């Protein structure tokens, strides 16, 4: 895993629509929470993605962007994003090139380690967490990341929350009665 203070490696990967997204283009608008996850639609990854979605409005207020990376193809990411109404993009690293660059490849090259990085607009890693099975550590890290940036400044002008249209099939909102595993 890369360490706090390291320079984040530049990359360009396709998002869920197949559009190329580079790290520098995202950081141009402010800091980024970049999270790596093993697979779409698994219980742990769904809980993690929905946790990021629930915190998304506050992250946007703080000028922090969110991107997820896993090895699935764009079509899988699009279905996952649509099903849970995720307000951020999911990037495809089918060859696991970026996953290896960020040192989160699974043991013996199998799978992907669950990791989250806070990267500032200068491509410097300002915080990181690696917790393969403890999803809550990643969600706690979101609050920690907001505090880190509040102490040092957000580093970006983006402050507008984005809402996605369309009908809700599954819900990841902050409602107490919502669950990503029950029909809405």
What domains are there in the chain, each with its CATH number? Answer: 12-152 (3.40.30.10)
Is 45 catalytic? The answer is yes
Q: Which whole number is the average pLDDT over 79-92?
A: 97
- Residue 132 is predicted with a pLDDT of 67
Q: Which whole number is the average pLDDT over 152-157?
A: 45
pLDDT at 172 over 50: yes
Question: What average pLDDT is seen over the chain?
Answer: 82
Q: Which residue has the higher pLDDT, 175 or 26?
A: 26
pLDDT at 2 over 50: yes
- Residue 139 is predicted with a pLDDT of 80
Q: Which whole number is the average pLDDT over 85-105?
A: 97
d(Cα 125, Cα 31) in Å, to the nearest integer? 10
d(Cα 147, Cα 112) in Å, to the nearest integer? 27
Residue 74: CB atoms within 10 Å: 19
pLDDT in tens, 43-74: 989 998 999 999 999 999 989 999 999 999 99
pLDDT in tens, 113-153: 999 999 999 999 999 998 867 777 778 888 888 787 776 65
End-to-end CA distance of the chain: 38
- Choose, from 21, 23, 45, 118, the residue flagged as catalytic: 45
Percentage of the chain beyond pLDDT 90 is: 64
């Amino acid at each position: 895993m890369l360490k706090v203070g390291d320079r984040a490696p530049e990359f360009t990967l396709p998002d869920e629509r197949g559009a190329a997204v580079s790290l520098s283009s995202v950081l141009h608008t402010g800091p980024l929470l970049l999270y790596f996850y093993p697979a779409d639609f698994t219980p742990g990854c769904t809980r993690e993605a929905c946790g990021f979605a629930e915190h998304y409005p506050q992250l946007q207020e703080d000028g922090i962007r969110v991107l997820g990376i896993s090895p699935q193809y764009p079509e899988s990411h699009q279905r996952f994003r649509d099903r849970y109404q995720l307000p951020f993009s999911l990037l495809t690293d089918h060859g696991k090139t970026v996953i290896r660059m960020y040192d989160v490849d699974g043991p013996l090259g199998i799978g992907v380690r669950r990791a989250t990085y806070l990267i500032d607009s200068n491509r410097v890693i300002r915080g990181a967490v690696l917790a393969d099975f403890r999803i809550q550590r990643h969600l706690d890290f979101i609050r920690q990341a907001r505090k880190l940036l509040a102490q040092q400044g957000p580093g970006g002008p983006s402050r507008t929350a984005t809402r996605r249209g369309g009908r809700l099939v599954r819900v990841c909102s902050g409602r107490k009665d919502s669950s990503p595993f029950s029909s809405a």
